[in-house]
Structure 1
Amino acid sequence: MMKKRMLLILLVSAPAFAGLELRQGAGSIAAWLDGKALWTYNCDPADGKPWFHPLASTEGTVFTDLRPEDHPWHRGVWFSWKFINGVNYWEEERETHASAGETRIRKVAGTIKDQTARINLEIEYAPAGTEAPVMRENRLVVVAAPDETGTYSIDWSSTFQALEKTVVLDRTPIPGQPGGKSWGGYAGWSVRMNAAMKGGTFLDSEGRESAHRAAAAWTLFNAPEGGSLLFMDHPDNFGHPSKWYIAPGMPFFGPAVIHDAPQALQAGETRTLNYRLVVLPGIGTREAASRLWKKWTRKNVVILTGANNHDWQATTPALKAILEESGNFNVDVVTHPEQLSPEVLAGYDVLLSNWNAFGKNQPAPWSGELKKAYVDFVRKGGGHVAVHAGSSSFYDWDDYHAICLATWKGGTGHRKPHGFDVRFLESGHPVSLGLENFETSDELWFKPFVHPDATVIAESFSQHTGNWEPTALTGQFGEGRCFTLLLGHSAAAMENRGFRKLLVAGVRWAADDATD
């Protein structure tokens, strides 16, 4: 029998969007706007699959339906696989609401800050009547506060892991395949809307209307009386761009991630899916949707370099290539950071330091104005990343060291580059979610100075000290997210696959607002 876990909510700041109130219930969290429900997320373990209903625009359009008569297993905005190892997790018995496959919520934890809700869930999948799960999921749902236009977003990120045996994720076959059905292909994160939404229009990233079974980066739904839903498929998702299942008559839509063929996860293997659903108060346009897509998927990063006691001429191009090849970032390089201004910094989401003033290295000094702008950038929500020795500067500047998380001080040292393992400590942290321990050959620091507010999320064993030494850290400075990766001594070390994945994940996390 499942144990019910209470949702823990921490209210830490005053509301920023007038009239909005977030409320905690028994197994749910909801936002109310001027006395009406804006959204409710039900995550009660007793109900199995979590869902959003109602989901409304800030102008009052209610989009969703819960357990409609034609398909009572549809739950507003929700996620479900169709078949796992041949067992149906989608349909339910009409009277009992029970499925042959059970989606079991094992743990829920949530926080609220600045009207933004973050909900972490641990979920297991198992055939009904069995104890041992076949697959586990770590899910993070983030509902952001509405902006000044009344637009808000829901970010959904899940990592699935096959347990002791291979897991096959399948769906009803599509027309043209053996046993294919006209309704085949659906599975995943979906939106079931109410009857008032019939007559609304669908538009995708390729300019097509109601493009059922067509691949697209995003699909926009405009309600008949105003209000829009923009559903976006992240480029990192397997099979991107997904083919979309669109049924205007219900109405229903969502990216059908396994539309064309089943997917198999070997024992221990993981897959991660990321989506964003944007709720707009007015009629959405293709141009606006495209801008929101680019803002979500591509962040602006500037690499600060030009001085370093390491070979920055080789490591800087390597860092730039890794980030650009991920498809997530636009990357600029500045070789004279002392010339930066607040206006230039404002154009970026992340500052990445591959610059230092360590030892005999004597770069041009930074002005007091620049130092203030640097700190203000991070404090007000900008991301900061330091790679290897990119934090080793300004030893009398406390704010700088708080931002950089870990640096070189008396007692810190290293030996020649060599092979060692990197293991993750915070498997549920957004940076390490879905990443696996890896081996590398690099320069391993020992006894770095770690700021008290930093969190070590990865470490490696030092044969010299006999201790596990930090290799990746996260932290927050004001509203800004900070990530430090002490690996990356050379361009050759940056070729390591584990390093590349960790760098991209860390920069992506730092690029998002701390409240997202």
Structure 2
Amino acid sequence: MVGAFAMAAISMLAQAQKVDFVDNAKDKKVDVIIDGKPFTSYFYPGADVLKKAVLYPVMTAKGTLVTRGWPLDPRGSERVDHPHHVGVWLNYEDVNGNDYWNNSNAVNHAKRAYGTITHTGIKSMKGGKNKGVLTVTADWTDKDGKLTLKEVTTYTFAGKGDTRTMDRSTTLTAVNGDVAMPDIKDGMFAIRVARELEIPSNKPEIFTDAAGIATKVPMMNNTGITGNYRNSNGIEGEDVWAKRAVWCNLTGKIKDENISIAIIDHPKNPGYPAYWHARGYGLFAVNPLGQKAFSNGKDVMNFKIKNGESATFRYRMVVASEHLADASLNGMAADFGKTK
């Protein structure tokens, strides 16, 4: 049997794969192609469809979809809760009193202050034999359309063997006064995964949307539902929620393919190592700013960006056609920690 360290070494020796971008302005997206196969798309359809740009859909190297399809491309047996959970995204529930996380076309905008993140441009796009780098810009505006934050995000995509990585570095600059991002539960970097990667549930559940409307969901069929979380401290399952960790790994199986989706925190991020807002029903998020919400008041962050100043958030997401071992993820985390 090959040990975990040997497997990690084999993975490191895999050849880096070519990354290409296809700029599809008509469909408002940039397709990301790794080793000649689609990985994801940077999708910016506009506020009439989504209230932020996302990476959607996301696929393994073998072409298996790992993101939920609903509400954009519904698939049978999926949950239909939380319409703002689409693909991979970064936002926050409270930015100067405006909710960017829960905003969607399904909510009543007259009852709550919601913010919108609008794609403003592609700053640069360069593929390559070892990696591809895409830099984009966006504006964070409040409920009245007032500009609050200017965003510059750089995505770095790479592939080796059956593993895909995406590094996201997002710099937010306060442009119209100080920006308060107080402790709150819903944030910040997240993916909503396919039904098969949820944790099996043996009880009815109640989901509450952003308007406070509760939806009762009966016990669902768990056939083929295989997900399980494990974090860098060895905590597993639903217990990873509200725990600090350097990384968290979601493993499961879709048909005959073993799959891992891992998110890695960066040492330079505020609140490192972050608390994890990872739920069994398919929301997988890391929230560095919601410390009070996750620690029962023991830790308090109440993050602010002063006018004219910036804050940068860095995350690595790994999508692999295997169940990644702790040793492999520790190596990836160490490597990621060396990046700026």
Instruction: Using structure 2 for the length normalisation, give the TM-score.
Output: 0.72
Q: In 2, distance between residues paired with 1:153 and 1:34?
A: 13
Correspondence for 1:73: 84
- Aligned alpha-carbon RMSD (Å): 2.5
Alpha carbons 2:101, 2:186 under 8 Å: kept: no
Correspondence for 2:93: 82
Q: Unaligned 5+ residue runs, structure 1?
A: 1-15, 173-184, 299-507, 510-516
Give the % identical residues.
Answer: 21
Q: How many pairs were matched up?
A: 268
- Answer yes or no: is 1:227 the counterpart of 2:259: yes
Q: In 1, distance between residues paired with 2:107 and 2:311?
A: 31
Alpha carbons 1:37, 1:54 under 8 Å: kept: no
Alpha carbons 1:193, 1:251 under 8 Å: kept: yes
Displacement, 1:34?
8.9
SS in 2 for 1:114: coil
Deviations 1:219-275 (A, max 9, x none): 111122411112100000010000001101x21112111111431222222211111
Displacement, 1:39?
1.5
Alpha carbons 2:53, 2:118 under 8 Å: kept: no
SS in 1 for 2:253: coil
- Answer yes or no: is 1:164 the counterpart of 2:176: yes
Correspondence for 1:202: 229
Deviations 1:321-355 (A, max 9, x none): xxxxxxxxxxxxxxxxxxxxxxxxxxxxxxxxxxx
Change (3 A) 1:294 1:59: same
Alpha carbons 1:67, 1:73 under 8 Å: kept: no
Q: In 2, distance between residues paired with 1:31 and 1:268?
A: 33
Deviations 1:74-112 (A, max 9, x none): 111111111111111122344489782111222223323
Q: In 1, distance between residues paired with 2:67 and 2:59?
A: 8
Which residue identity is paired with 2:289?
I
1:270-289 alignment runs, 5 A limit? 270-289=310-329
Alpha carbons 1:121, 1:138 under 8 Å: kept: yes
Which residue identity is paired with 1:167?
V
Alpha carbons 1:73, 1:97 under 8 Å: kept: no
Between structures 1 and 2, the one with greater helix share? 1
Q: In 2, distance between residues paired with 1:292 and 1:44?
A: 32
Correspondence for 2:22: 23
Correspondence for 1:218: 247
Q: In 2, distance between residues paired with 1:118 and 1:204?
A: 28
Displacement, 1:37?
3.8
Correspondence for 1:334: none
Change (3 A) 1:121 1:214: same
Most deviating of 201-210 and 237-246: 201-210
Change (3 A) 1:66 1:264: farther
Displacement, 1:193?
0.6
SS in 2 for 1:196: helix
Deviations 1:257-298 (A, max 9, x none): 111143122222221111111111211111111111112224
Change (3 A) 1:23 1:164: closer
- Answer yes or no: is 1:104 the counterpart of 2:104: no
Alpha carbons 2:147, 2:176 under 8 Å: kept: no
Correspondence for 2:289: 258
Which residue identity is paired with 1:117?
G
- Answer yes or no: is 1:129 the counterpart of 2:128: no
| Structure ID, larger Rg | 1
Displacement, 1:60?
3.1
Q: Unaligned 5+ residue runs, structure 2?
A: 1-15, 72-79, 199-225, 292-300
